[in-house]
Amino acid sequence: PNITYSQPIVGSEKGFFQKALGPEVKVQIRTFNAGPSEIEALFAGEIDLGYIGPNPAINGFIRSRGKALRIIAGATSGGAVFVVRNDGGIARVADFAGKKFAAPQIGNTQDVALRAYLKDKGFKLKEKGGNVEVIPIANPDIFTLFVKKEIDGAWVPEPWGARLVREANGRIFLDERDLWPGGKFVTAHVMVRTSFLHERPELLKKWLEGHVETTGWINGNSGEAKKILNRRIKELTSRGLAAGVLDDAFGRMQVTYDPVASSLQKSADDAYALGFLRDKNIDGIYDLVLLNQVLTEKGLKPLQIATAKQK
């Protein structure tokens, strides 16, 4: 799993969510390779709440004409990098010509970021008559192809960026934080089915209590949090991460309950310009009422959303 989704892993392990929800509530956890498939599960009513990247959430909101989902909290800022092979002949942007790059899934957050970056630098993709190729493949397969030298670079979330650097002879060409004001941009946030938000607000408020507590605990106990994440990664993949990989990855991200709303419209604009969205209006995508209630009760500062109207 990506460590940009650290709260559900750590919070479940530490019991923060169960404590907030109470013993009578049972939580079923599902994992997805990337956000678009998670959105399909939400549309099908198979999940009520999910930790997801910005672009799939935007896409789900637009596709459902603003009806299917709401973002109720942030999860992570930062934690995405563009890594190139050290032996791939890429020293500067001009060297992208003729290269093949990868991102986790077509239309996912890193895929949109990569395509928008290439477009901004004046490159056209092969399918549009250009000389740069972008292929969508799952993160583990990106790692394999990178090692085999079958791709020249990849825009990936952590810890995959750190793994490509430490284990696959890669180097960071661009830390995505460098593209954003103050280095802050959303890589993960908490979404819910709108109908579930309306039907069970008290339950979601309890979840957010656990989410805020988990966020604070991770930020104050990063060493233990990394051990928990590594244990879970080993359970899911049979192989844990080297300590250096986790340290590098954690150093490029910030665990937060702030959705960094100022960055979301830019993500929507990029996806729209690339043809992934039929509209870019995301007014009403946020509903932070429950989060702000939790923050106020915990003596923390409530959040204001200036970039998108709340409904």
Give the domain CATH number at 152: 3.40.190.10
309 domain-assigned: no
Residue 28 lies in a domain: yes
With 0-12 / 13-18 / 19 or more C-beta atoms within 10 angstroms meaning exposed / middle / buried, residue 304 is exposed
Q: Would you say residue 304 lies in a domain?
A: no
Residues 123 and 171 in one domain: yes
The domain in which residue 170 lies consists of 80-182
Residue 165 shares a structural domain with residue 139: yes
H helix intervals, 185-260: 194-199, 201-220, 222-237, 243-251
Q: Range with the lowest mean pLDDT among 97-101, 118-122, 275-279?
A: 275-279
**pLDDT score, position 116:** 96
User: Has residue 272 been placed in a domain?
Assistant: yes
pLDDT for residue 178: 96
Confidence of residue 1 (pLDDT cuts 50, 70, 90): low
Same domain, 189 and 176: no
Per the prediction, the chain carries an average pLDDT of: 92
Q: Which two tokens stand for residue 23?
A: 């013993």
pLDDT score, position 145: 98
pLDDT recorded at residue 239: 81
The span from the CA of 70 to the CA of 193, in Å, is 7
Q: Which pLDDT belongs to residue 310?
A: 36
Q: Does residue 311 carry a pLDDT above 70?
A: no
Per-residue b/e over 207-238, b at no fewer than 16 CB within 10 Å? Answer: bbbbbbbbbebbeeebeebbbbbbebbeeeee
pLDDT, one tens digit per residue, over 266-289 is 999 999 999 998 999 999 999 999
Domain count, the chain: 2
Cβ–Cβ < 8 Å for 253, 246: no
Let me know if residue 290 belongs to a domain. yes
Q: Which of 182, 216, 243 is the last residue of a domain?
A: 182
Q: Is residue 307 part of a domain?
A: no
162 within domain boundaries: yes
Query: Mean pLDDT over residues 75-95, rounded?
Result: 96
Model confidence pLDDT, tens digit, residues 4-33? 889 999 999 999 999 999 999 998 887 876
- In the chain, the percentage of residues whose pLDDT exceeds 70 is 97
* Same domain as 41, residue 18: yes
200 and 166, same structural domain? no
Task: For residue 308, name the pLDDT band (cuts at 50, 70, 90).
Answer: very low
- Answer for the pair 74, 189: CB distance below 8 angstroms, yes or no: yes
pLDDT-derived band at 90, boundaries 50, 70, 90: very high
Is 260 found in the same domain as 153?
no
| Cβ atoms 117, 207 nearer than 8 A | no
Residues 170 and 201 in one domain: no
- Whole-angstrom distance, CA of residue 103 vs CA of residue 113: 9
Q: Are residues 132 and 252 in the same domain?
A: no
Asked whether residue 128 falls in the same domain as residue 275, the answer is no
User: Does 2 score more than 50 pLDDT?
Assistant: yes
Q: Are 227 and 281 within one domain? A: yes
Rounded to whole angstroms, the Cα distance separating 252 from 247 reads 9
Mean pLDDT of 294-311: 76
Closest CA to 82 of 183, 177, 224: 177
Q: Judge if 58 and 196 occupy the same domain.
A: yes
Q: Residues 209-253: pLDDT tens digits?
A: 999 999 999 999 999 999 999 998 888 777 888 889 999 999 999
Q: What is the pLDDT of residue 306?
A: 58
Last residue of a domain, one of 166, 182, 198: 182
Q: What share of the chain has pLDDT > 90, as a percent?
A: 82
Residue 23, domain member (yes or no):
yes
- Show contacts of 219-227: CB within 8 Å, 24+ apart: 219/255, 222/250, 225/6, 225/10, 226/250
User: In the listed set 182, 200, 223, which residue is the last one of a domain according to the structure?
Assistant: 182
Is the pLDDT assigned to residue 307 strictly greater than 60? no
Same domain? 88 vs 189: no
